[in-house]
Structure 1
């Protein structure tokens, strides 16, 4: 039998709707080309149909990217943390912004104009080009994975994969999300999320309160991700 190591787990990290890159060193030589900005919580960075004049590198904090309907309804697509970028898809695709982008936690970011991106960053800073491609790839994988999981996985398995992937991606057992936040990210009703989390707590996988999830047994959670959902774990 082949024993799985922690490295194996990281290499098979589930894709979760939280985009964050711990290593931002590729940007260090290019920061002087940007303009440092700060955003407070609840600040609206962009709205659908806003024109695209620049991209942003998030150095710290968290933003929410949500799709918005004409009637004002919103569905969160993903959260973006340090090392993520904003606006590159719209700039390269020659489209206005399609999403509603709001600050969740206070942010420090760097803004790079279209001219700087096209004339300085891409031709002269290959590490930045790699970072931008990595960000685009992460967003594509998040969207395609959500479709696959809705189609093929049960609710408990979706939640387990989400908690497991987020634990590894952030390097912390404390996940600062409410049940409503999780439901919004995964397209699930809050009551369904709460019932499933209660079952996971009874199984010793998690602890939770109103605003936070704590992973208590990552090994058991990793095992659960790959197994068929037991009857007593169904919401």
Structure 2
């Protein structure tokens, strides 16, 4: 795996940081389940209401998370920095995307598709449980933060 991604994940200082307790060997194995994508500033990573089932790990760059309102208006939700995870709820549900995610700068992301996620769960049970715990912690913290800000959960 990109040591840059692992370093970004491990050094992100945010309440909703993705913190799987993987050793070096597990991080390397996790890499085999991911694909790298490069974004230009302004590229959409996630489109509001789409049904894709991908989770992304941000190696470098900045992403803006927002909900489109009527017309050109946007309701800002978050700015994500290197090391952040985004799109994690799609690993579990069959509902449309709740927000839109756009690259604010050139960015490098690593994608985990749902089929690869399910394969990891089947083949690497202990890692899969740790990954589920880590994703659940991110979602829980984001839900708490949204409730604190008075934002709806859906």
TM-score by length of 2: 0.71
1:141 partnered with 2:144: yes
- In structure 2, runs of 5+ residues without a counterpart are 1-12
**Unmatched 5+ residue regions in structure 1?**
1-12, 149-235
Query: How far apart are the structure 2 equivalents of 1:47 and 1:14?
Result: 24
Distance 2:40 2:119 in 1: 31
Equivalent residue runs for 1:11-160 within 5 Å = 19-21=16-18, 26=22, 28=27, 29-121=29-121, 124=124, 125=127, 126-147=129-150
Deviations 1:156-182 (A, max 9, x none): xxxxxxxxxxxxxxxxxxxxxxxxxxx
TM-score, with structure 1 as normaliser: 0.49
Secondary structure in structure 2 of the residue aligned to 1:78:
strand
Cα 1:90–1:56 shift into 2, 3 Å? same
Aligned length: 132
1:103 offset after TM fit, Å?
0.8
* Structure of higher RCO (CA pairs closer than 8 Å, 6+ residues apart): 2
